[in-house]
Chain A
Amino acid sequence: MSFDPISHVKSKTLVLSAANIDTDQIIPARFLTVTDRDGLGKLAFNDWRYNKDGSDTDHILNTEAAKACQILVAGHNFGCGSSREHAPWALTDYGFKAVISSEIADIFHGNALKNGLLPIVIEKSAHQWLLDHPGEEISIDLAACEVHLPKNGGTYPFKIDPFSRHCLMQGIDEMDYLDDQQDAIASYEAAL
């Protein structure tokens, strides 16, 4: 799917410090009966955000300040669990453009990259700084692969797959890239 090219994200952070936040927390399974992908932001972290009667809880995600945050800082091993792409769809629709953790689960990581959500794994000390300083404005430079923390928090490198980075920065769809390989695929199939 298409999304706007990304090179920088600068925003205050929203911190959800729990470790192992799984995709059932990001969007509970009972909402997966949808057949399209729009408007899932209101269901992001549904069971944390709404009471049984549908009213808002006092969870930080319901605050106006949170809704203005484009960067989610999460505890270790974010996004574990199912392969549902509804998880990054819900997060981007909520307004996030990046998620930072000390570890991000594989399938979620791949799904995020395909939907214009930067999955950033950063070293433990910087991660801890971010957990300890919620709401600070930080910036992510995708070209340089660096996260800049304010107040002399420092600059930290992150690794991102160069191909995914290229696609994100140019807004390229991987389907086009695969489509260009039809000849190679055809000769592979011919040899089967």
Chain B
Amino acid sequence: MAISLFDKIWDRHVVSKETEINPATLYIDLHLIHEVTSPQAFSVLEHRGLAVKNPAKTLATIDHSTPTIFDDDGKPLYVSAQAEKQVNTLLANTKAHGITVHGWDSPNRGIVHVMGPELGATRPGMTIVCGDSHTSTHGAFGALAFGIGTTQVGHVLATQCILMRKPKSMLIHVKGDVSPDVCAKDIILAIIADIGVGGGTGYVLEYKGACFDAMSMDERMTVCNMSIEAGARAGLIAPDQTTCNYLEGREYTPKGEAFESACADWLSLRSDAGCHYDAEVELKAEDIRPMVTYGTHPGMAMPIDALIPAPRDEAEENALAYMDVKAGTPMTGQKVDMVFIGSCTNSRLIDLRSAAKYFAGQKVASSVRAVIVAGSEVIKKQAEAEGLDKVFIQAGAEWREPGCSMCIGMNGDIGAPGQLIVSTSNRNFAGRQGPQVRTVLASPATAAASAISGVVTDPRTIDLGDAA
């Protein structure tokens, strides 16, 4: 029988089968935790006198509430005592339960969805959960990875399992070749615009097509990261040689012969030809162009050279009013106040390299503040080794310490009311980057080009000269 990647992973992890009455009990191979969604779960454990079942299958980091600037003594400048307490609560909880945590002193600290893959803790065929909706990122490795709520964080801590009914499956097939000036962010924004913000609700998506095969792991993570923005539980890309090459030699990756046999197993996970999906969607790669959002959810996205479409309902009308933009006009040329390059969507090395091309030898427009935040300590070091930090700083951009930063603004990195921010993050919800802040989601190339010109800019209109 032809079996899909999703079915193969699901079947391997069923502890007890789903019935009409009961959900399945699903075994979880890796539980990632961070400071925001875990404290109440640890409280429940304590309250019930339960231990953490498998500390070794749990991995922690601090990323959301952590400042990206330090004071002169090198101490993090917290936005509030409460944020500091939240971080310290995680450090204390992980210590008490014997869980590995990448705190301030770790060279591997980073945004949870950047750090897991970097360490090789994320591997094909695994089930991975985290109290964070962008856990879908890890699907880039062919792992079934999804966000859970705090109650379930408690369940996994105590039992290494969750209760879940099997989601439906949807194949997203992008046919043909994409133009070289289209990046992973543009492809996923085009998919979300096509199926809608609720289009994936109830489904696990599997991405198929030459454009995904050709992508690096960094790019595949950008795609799977935003699966949740179409409402999907998870997104998957089949493991291939690119996946194996990325993982080889990483801390948690099996070594030697064990690596060879692991690779053979990973490669066997690919969906069998002719397997069943509950739904299938096809997009033409040649239609995809660099994308921007113009509204207040990621589905309100369009090609950057298009005009804002007429609102289809009251919600979209309100969204245009919030964004202070008009149907029938372009997004390009809109005055930009801030640019944020970072987040678990676009803060990896290739994203920073792509942005640096536009900053090289240029100055950030005088009316713009550009903030660049690597996704992890590892990426920060790599970027600095390549001199990217100098490129950004010389252009007048801020080069910060790794973390979620302006993606969610929990650490105080936010814009001022009314400001327009071109952001490489994943959510343009009203107020996400600060009250009344207007967020435009785009690729690192578009964000960087906009930082230099001071208005929303189609990166294809910038002549990069020799740098390209």
Q: Footprint of B on A, CB under 8 Å? A: 1, 17-20, 22, 24-25, 28-30, 32-37, 47, 52, 75-77, 80-85, 103, 105-107, 110-111, 114-115, 161-163, 166, 174-175, 177-179, 181-182, 184-185, 188-189
Contact residues in A for B202 (Cβ distance below 8 Å): 106
A20:B197 contact, CB within 8 angstroms: yes
Closest to B81 in A: A33
B430:A47 contact, CB within 8 angstroms: yes
Interchain CB contact (< 8 A) of A28 among B44, B64, B431: B431
- Known contacts A30-B410, A32-B410, A85-B149; decide if A22 and B158 are in contact (CB<8 Å): no
Interface stretch, picked from B20-28, B100-108, B286-294, is B20-28
Contact residues in B for A178 (Cβ distance below 8 Å): 25, 155, 158-159, 161, 163
A103:B201 contact, CB within 8 angstroms: yes
Count A-B contacts at CB 8 Å.
Answer: 170
- Nearest CB of chain B from residue A94's CB, rounded to whole Å: 18
B40:A29 contact, CB within 8 angstroms: no
Interchain CB contact (< 8 A) of A30 among B23, B165, B201, B414: B414
Interchain CB contact (< 8 A) of A52 among B150, B161, B313, B435: B435
| Distance A22 CA – B319 CA, assembled complex (angstroms) | 13
Interface stretch, picked from B82-90, B251-259, B347-355, B361-369, is B82-90
Known: A29-B409, A30-B409, A83-B148. 14 other contacts (CB 8 A): A24-B429, A24-B431, A28-B431, A29-B408, A37-B40, A80-B198, A85-B150, A107-B148, A161-B23, A174-B155, A174-B163, A175-B48, A178-B161, A189-B27
Contact residues in B for A161 (Cβ distance below 8 Å): 23, 165
A177:B37 contact, CB within 8 angstroms: no
| Distance A188 CA – B435 CA, assembled complex (angstroms) | 48
Query: Digit string of B163-196 for contact with A (CB within 8 Å is 1, else 0)?
Result: 1010100000000000000000000000000000
Say whether B71 faces chain A, with CB atoms less than 8 Å apart: no
Interchain CB contact (< 8 A) of A106 among B86, B155, B201: B201
B231:A80 contact, CB within 8 angstroms: yes
- Nearest CB of chain A from residue B299's CB, rounded to whole Å: 8
Contact residues in A for B86 (Cβ distance below 8 Å): 33-35
B-side interface residues, number (CB < 8 Å):
65
| Distance A84 CA – B148 CA, assembled complex (angstroms) | 8
Contact residues in B for A115 (Cβ distance below 8 Å): 151
| Distance A1 CA – B147 CA, assembled complex (angstroms) | 19
- Known contacts A24-B431, A29-B432, A30-B414; decide if A181 and B25 are in contact (CB<8 Å): yes
Contact residues in A for B151 (Cβ distance below 8 Å): 1, 85, 111, 114-115, 174
- Known contacts A77-B231, A107-B147; decide if A32 and B64 are in contact (CB<8 Å): yes
Say whether B132 faces chain A, with CB atoms less than 8 Å apart: yes
Say whether B58 faces chain A, with CB atoms less than 8 Å apart: no
Say whether B380 faces chain A, with CB atoms less than 8 Å apart: no
Interface residues of B in 213-263 (CB under 8 A from A): 228, 231, 233
- Known contacts A107-B147, A175-B158; decide if A84 and B25 are in contact (CB<8 Å): no
Say whether B15 faces chain A, with CB atoms less than 8 Å apart: yes
| Distance A184 CA – B159 CA, assembled complex (angstroms) | 11
| Distance A189 CA – B56 CA, assembled complex (angstroms) | 13
A33:B80 contact, CB within 8 angstroms: yes
| Distance A126 CA – B150 CA, assembled complex (angstroms) | 32
Contact residues in A for B20 (Cβ distance below 8 Å): 162
| Distance A29 CA – B414 CA, assembled complex (angstroms) | 11
Interchain CB contact (< 8 A) of B431 among A33, A47, A163: A47
- Nearest CB of chain B from residue A2's CB, rounded to whole Å: 10
Say whether B278 faces chain A, with CB atoms less than 8 Å apart: no
- Known contacts A33-B80, A114-B149, A181-B25; decide if A83 and B159 are in contact (CB<8 Å): no
Contact residues in A for B48 (Cβ distance below 8 Å): 175
- Known contacts A77-B198, A85-B149; decide if A17 and B314 are in contact (CB<8 Å): yes
Most chain B beta-carbon neighbours within 10 Å: one of A35, A184, A189: A35
Interchain CB contact (< 8 A) of A25 among B131, B150, B152, B431: B431
